[in-house]
Amino acid sequence: MSAELTVLALAGLLQAVQYVLMAVPANLELGPGYTAGPRDDAPPRVLSARTGRLVRALDNHFEALILFTLAVVVVTLSNQATALTAALAWLYLAARVLYIPAYAFGWRPWRSVIWLVGFGSSILIIIAALRGALGGA
């Protein structure tokens, strides 16, 4: 398996980890009576600041993961993967792992800097894939 695909698999697992990090405190705070129900009403109480941050960190990785998946798909299927795109993929994963404590502990402005590293990595992989299409077409 290429480095890009390995990272993609690990990023999928990271999403599962983020789910657990968010769901455990959220269930403790809201109670399974609410979370297992149909949630027709607003939650009985507001989530703590830390848990709210973990919810937003999870939601943010949904968006980031969709874009990163696209990047890995196009670079892999067009056979444009290089040592550079492999390094960018690992950089993406490192940034997304760091993003979680950065959000949970309110590292400001580092959370945003870390986000930008992950976002930039995905974009650069897409551009690397398109560069081949430009030259080849």
Tell whether residue 23 is a contact of other proteins (CB under 8 A).
no
Tell whether residue 45 is a contact of other proteins (CB under 8 A).
no
Distance CA 30, CA 44 (A): 7
Helices first, then strands: H and E counts in the chain: 5, 0
Cβ contact 68:11 at 8 Å: yes
Tell whether residue 127 is a contact of other proteins (CB under 8 A).
yes
Distance CA 45, CA 30 (A): 7
Tell whether residue 52 is a contact of other proteins (CB under 8 A).
yes
Beta carbon of residue 69, minimum distance to other proteins (angstroms, whole number)? 6
Distance CA 53, CA 97 (A): 14
Tell whether residue 108 is a contact of other proteins (CB under 8 A).
yes
Instruction: Give the interface with other proteins as residue ranges (CB under 8 A).
Output: 49, 52-53, 56, 62-63, 66-67, 69-71, 73-74, 77-78, 103, 106, 108-109, 111-112, 119, 122-123, 126-127, 129-130, 133-134, 137
